[in-house]
């Protein structure tokens, strides 16, 4: 299967490049293609004639999106529309990643794949929702995968932030009023490959690790595994004001796929390697 991975230098993209390695994927990032540029996308996809495009490229700075709205919309919204249009022309499958932030975070029991996202509470969520809509409008051959709280060895993430903070501080305050489901990039990349190989029906999927937690609980587990003696204090989000609001209940419920291992097991593997 001729495969292109876009955003191949990002945290998830690098993991995908490894998982799909034996398919000899073509790996592109900003230097090779600008997904926000419709002509560039059309030209490069039509010249390459892929069977599968995996798009892990995105504008992922959640706080930055509040002031860079146009760029976020161009990349996360219209950029996805461009890819979907180009894939449809050459009959390629498009795998695209979205986020829990397309929901407004008020539903405590969590969001299923067929829940309709509305009123995202920050610009990043709005831009990703635009991408979801344009994807579904422009092609039928898509896997739309929502994930949350990504961690993995190829990018800046919460686990690394906590470990860095613990080197310099004896006490760390961590937010305890936002809940979500951590997602290990390696597990997500593997499940992505399964979707294609096992020819699951096209559509929307929620892929995270199993179980939910607050950021505070996530931090406690990190230091339990590493044996670090740092004191962790649970606090409310208002103690750490950010440019973008975060949803309080950001739980993606998977009703379609065999569940992944728990986030604690995945975290343990990540930390031990
Ligand atoms: N990280 C999370 O916690 C999280 C949570 C939920 C959903 N997601 C979604 O998961 C996917 C992967 O996220 P990630 O954290 O792996 O992202 P990432 O590490 O930020 O990587 C994104 C990659 O896309 C590239 N890129 C940005 N704009 C581009 C453009 N216009 N054309 C081509 N490439 C471009 C970036 O290049 P530069 O570095 O040069 O900008 C970067 O290499 C994204 O769709 C994201 O929205 C992530």
Query: Which is the CATH superfamily of the domain at 157-179+211-251+261-272?
Result: UDP-galactose 4-epimerase, domain 1 (3.90.25.10)
Q: What is the pLDDT along the chain (273 residues), one digit of tens a residue?
A: 999 999 999 999 999 999 999 999 999 999 999 999 999 999 999 999 999 999 999 999 999 999 999 999 999 999 999 999 999 999 999 999 999 999 999 999 999 999 999 899 999 999 999 999 999 999 999 999 999 999 999 999 999 999 999 999 999 999 999 999 999 999 999 999 999 999 999 999 999 999 999 999 999 999 999 999 999 999 999 999 999 999 999 999 999 999 999 999 999 999 998
Looking from the CA of residue 101, the nearest atom of ligand 1 is 6
pLDDT at 183: 98
Taking CA atoms only, the protein residue closest to ligand 1 atom 34 is: 30
Given the CA of residue 13, which atom of ligand 1 is nearest to it? 16
CA of 76 to the centre of ligand 1 (A): 9
In the chain, where are the structural domains located? 3-150+182-206, 157-179+211-251+261-272
Whole-number pLDDT of residue 134: 98
Task: Say what the pLDDT of residue 41 is.
Answer: 98
Q: Work out the widest C-alpha separation in the chain, in whole angstroms.
A: 57
What Rg value do the Cα atoms of the chain yield, rounded?
18
| Candidate of 41, 57, 155 to mutate for ligand 1, largest count of ligand atoms within 8 Å of Cβ | 57
Q: Can 270 be counted among the known catalytic residues?
A: no
Ligand 1 and 184: CB distance under 6 A: no
pLDDT at 273: 87
Q: Is 89 left (phi over 0), alpha (psi -120 to 50) or beta?
A: alpha
Give the number of the atom of ligand 1 that is nearest the alpha carbon of residue 35. 32
The fold for domain 3-150+182-206 equals Rossmann fold (3.40.50)
Give residue 74's pLDDT. 98
Please give the Cα distance from 101 to 120 (Å, whole number). 6
Half-sphere exposure of 111 (CA within 13 A, CB side): 32
From ligand 1's centre to the CA of 101, what distance in Å? Answer: 15
**DSSP readout, 242-273?**
-SS---SEE-BPP-SSPPPPBHHHHHHHHHH-
């Amino acid at each position: 299967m001729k495969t292109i991975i876009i955003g191949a230098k990002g945290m998830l993209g690098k993991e995908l490049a490894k998982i799909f390695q034996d398919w000899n994927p073509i790996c592109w990032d900003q230097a090779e293609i600008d997904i926000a540029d419709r002509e560039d996308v059309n030209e490069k996809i039509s010249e390459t004639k892929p069977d599968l495009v995996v798009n892990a490229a995105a504008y992922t700075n959640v706080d930055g999106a509040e002031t860079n709205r146009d760029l976020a919309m161009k990349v996360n919204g219209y950029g996805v529309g461009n890819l979907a249009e180009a894939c449809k022309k050459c009959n390629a499958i498009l795998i695209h990643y979205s986020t829990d932030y397309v929901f407004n975070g008020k539903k405590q029991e969590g969001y299923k794949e067929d829940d309709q996202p509305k009123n995202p509470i920050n610009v990043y969520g709005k831009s990703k929702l635009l991408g979801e809509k344009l994807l579904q409008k422009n092609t039928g051959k898509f896997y739309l995968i929502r994930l949350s709280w990504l961690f993995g060895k190829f990018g800046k993430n919460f686990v690394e932030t906590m470990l860095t903070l613990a080197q310099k501080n004896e006490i760390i305050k961590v937010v305890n009023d936002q809940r979500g489901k951590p997602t290990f990039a390696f597990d997500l990349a593997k499940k992505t490959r399964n979707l294609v190989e096992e020819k699951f029906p096209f559509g929307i999927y929620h892929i995270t690790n199993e179980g939910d937690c607050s950021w505070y609980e996530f931090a406690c587990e990190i230091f339990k595994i590493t044996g670090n003696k740092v004191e962790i204090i649970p606090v409310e989000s208002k103690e750490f004001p950010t440019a973008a609001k975060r949803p309080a209940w950001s739980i993606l419920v998977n009703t379609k796929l065999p569940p992944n291992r728990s986030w604690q097991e995945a975290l343990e593997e990540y930390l031990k390697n």
